[in-house]
Amino acid sequence: MKRYLLLFFLLAAGTAAFAQAPTRADSLVMRAQQISKQKNYPEAIKAYQLVVQEPTAKPTYKAFSYYNIACYYGLLNDAPNAVANLERAIEAGYIDAEHISEDSDLNLLHGHKQWPKLLARARKLEDKQRIKRPEDVKLVTTDIDHFWQAYTAAQRDTAQARAIFRREYFDKGSQGLQDYYSLKIRNDATFTKRILQRPQYYNSIQSTTLSIAKQKPQIVSAFKRFQELYPAVRFQNIYFVVGGWVSGGTVSDAGLLIGADQVANGPGVNTSELSLLQRNRCAPVTVMPELMVHELVHRNQGSQDGTLLSYALSEGMADFVAEVVTGVKGGANSRLQAYGNAHEQELWTDFKKEMLGTNSDNWIANGAQETPEKPCDLGYYVGYRIVQAYYNKTTDKKQALADILSIRDAKAFLAQSGYESGLASR
């Protein structure tokens, strides 16, 4: 259950924001999540049972709720109820067979006669939904079209801009935009302010954002190469949205969610209204292949253990795999390479002091620390170099990629990489 707990909580809480008012189902989910944090398993079960009994609850809510109930029964050593609710979860749509098989909350069931049948059922249903060919991946750009229609109207009537964006953009949004809103935007007023306070920038990026759809051949080519190198790759559809500079990319069950306005640089684009960090991160639309591979890696990698080291490996491997697939040095974060290479020893010395803790504030998503001399997000670079060291020392490169994408023990992987000893010998 642990892998999905936070994401589900954010989606549940954020969905209330997207709809402007929480439904009864939203409230029940949030209450269940709060009880879950207290590890009061019998009460958590009761709370999730209220969700599955709620007529207005979405199928996703019911699937996750049944799964959580199964996990709590597993932790209470109640195999019959754990099996019954896991079966309900799978039939309701919880079909991530890999996660089910690895979730320690369900260890009780591993010797149960129904266990192989349940995993087989989940795999069968998952396989039906799986996108097997890169060319079948959908690039959904309708949200960009809706944004520009809303933006034109909002510019004509700035007093009603918030309502216009709600009606013409968010309410018409794809599932990808709904998830992106829930995870990243969360507030109409703040979004509207971010957009309207940068008129020169937004007025200059319309053509580049509208050209994203033309990038599909390059993206498909990169995905095909990824599949050649890692045949087990699981593809997802891609949703391009305008997010007001809250996130360049994230993921949800709908697919890869890309903030198109952060990948919209090009001839004639005016970045004068952007901050130093935003200007440095404002990538051209031509980086789509490496960015898409980076985000796809996040949907195919193993789960984190909560440490800074694990987080850095998660991001670093996404950049390294993107490099291997596309040939672009540093993948989606090539801007970190020059500083990282020039200061690698001191970065490692500082990183090592914090890597087994859970605080990533100095290394990842630390945009406030960006300066003209030193970029932020250098945890990505450290993770990239560790992963690169492992890959370089492994003879079978396909196996190396498989190992990287299935890291379970970050500390052990670091030792196996030989990164630290290799750095010391340079």
Q: What is the pLDDT of residues 384-401, one digit of tens each?
A: 999 999 999 999 999 999
Q: What is the structure's pLDDT at 7?
A: 41
Q: How many residues does the chain have?
A: 426
* Average pLDDT value for residue range 318-327: 97
Q: What is the structure's pLDDT at 6?
A: 35
Residue 356 confidence class, pLDDT cut points 50, 70, 90: very high
* Average pLDDT value for residue range 42-55: 94
| Cβ density class 86-120: b for 16+ within 10 Å, e for less | bbbbbebbbbbbbbbeebebbebbeebebbeebbe
Residue 19 pLDDT > 70: no
* Average pLDDT value for residue range 57-71: 91
Q: What is the structure's pLDDT at 269?
A: 96
More confident residue, 408 or 49: 49
Q: What is the structure's pLDDT at 1?
A: 52
> Tokens 């099996």 correspond to what residue?
83
Residue 3 pLDDT > 50: no
Instruction: Report d(CA 224, CA 150) in Å as an integer.
Output: 36
CATH assignment, 2-129: 1.25.40
Q: What is the structure's pLDDT at 18?
A: 42
Q: What are phi and psi of 249, to 5 degrees?
A: -170, 140
Residue 118 pLDDT > 50: yes
Residue 13 pLDDT > 80: no
Name the nearest CA neighbour of 165 among 143, 198, 139. Answer: 143
Q: What is the structure's pLDDT at 37?
A: 83
Q: What is the structure's pLDDT at 268?
A: 94
* Average pLDDT value for residue range 407-424: 95
Residue 95 confidence class, pLDDT cut points 50, 70, 90: confident
Question: Tens of pLDDT along 255-304?
Answer: 899 999 999 999 999 999 999 999 999 999 999 999 999 999 998 988 78
Domain boundaries, the chain: 2-129, 134-297, 301-424
Question: Tens of pLDDT along 125-184?
Answer: 988 888 989 999 999 999 999 999 999 999 999 999 999 999 999 999 999 999 899 889
Q: Which residues pair with 235 in a beta bridge?
A: 131
Residue 368 pLDDT > 50: yes
| Residue 202 amino acid letter | Y
Question: Tens of pLDDT along 98-114?
Answer: 889 988 899 999 999 99
Q: What is the pTM of this model?
A: 0.79
Mode of pairing for the β-strands spanning 249-252 and 139-140: unpaired
Name the nearest CA neighbour of 246 among 190, 319, 304, 303. Answer: 190
* Sequence-distant (≥ 6) Cβ neighbours of residue 344 within 8 angstroms: 385, 423
Instruction: Report d(CA 10, CA 183) in Å as an integer.
Output: 6
How many other CB atoms are there within 10 angstroms of residue 57's CB atom?
Answer: 20
Q: Residue 244 — left, alpha, or beta (φ > 0 → left; ψ -120 to 50 → alpha)?
A: left
pLDDT above 90 covers a percentage of the chain that reads: 77
Q: What is the structure's pLDDT at 137?
A: 94
Question: Tens of pLDDT along 213-239?
Answer: 999 999 999 999 999 999 999 899 999
Q: What is the structure's pLDDT at 223?
A: 97
Instruction: Report d(CA 37, CA 60) in Å as an integer.
Output: 20
Residue 4 pLDDT > 60: no
Which DSSP letter does residue 302 get? Answer: P
Residue 97 pLDDT > 90: no
Tokens in use for 392?
Answer: 């370089």
